[in-house]
Amino acid sequence: MKPWPPGHYSSQASMTPASSYRSLLSTYTPSHASYVLQVVTDAPNIIKKPPDNWGFAFCSLFINPIFGVVALLLAQMSKDYFNRCKYKEASKYGSYAKGTAAAGIVSSIIVLLMIIAQVLHYHLKFYYNYN
């Protein structure tokens, strides 16, 4: 069998035994050095992801649009902070989004109950029977 020329890298992996860790490392480096370059990334950790409450904010958009838009913006800010690996700020803005959405829903329910009470009061005041 004829030996391969030293510059032929594509078939080198098939010539080395499978258990040789050093030869696998040198296969993918042109200088045949056996060192590994560490890849350093600043990617967000999915395990540490705080809740951004985007769904709750989106639901509150249909009940109270004013508070819903603010809650959606806060939920999006929470997502942006998580993507920048700022977990404390992401958690803070996620809880702000949840509080704003809940406040919008509660205020809408209170206003709706006040309107119903006013309509009932107006409707029932003509049915008094004074004898």
**Per residue in 11-52, pLDDT tens?**
555 555 555 555 555 555 555 555 565 655 677 788 888 888
Q: Residue 65 is encoded by which pair of tokens?
A: 């649009």
pLDDT at 97: 96
- DSSP string of 1-14? -PPPPTT--TTHHH
| Global pTM value | 0.62
Task: Grade residue 124 by pLDDT with cuts at 50, 70 and 90.
Answer: confident
Mean pLDDT of the chain: 79
CB atoms within 10 A of CB 60: 28
Spatial distance between the Cα atoms of 79 and 75, rounded to a whole number of angstroms:
6
Task: Give the closest residue to 53 by CA, choosing from 102, 97, 104, 103.
Answer: 97
In the chain, where are the structural domains located?
A: 12-41, 49-124
**pLDDT computed for residue 28 by the predictor:** 53
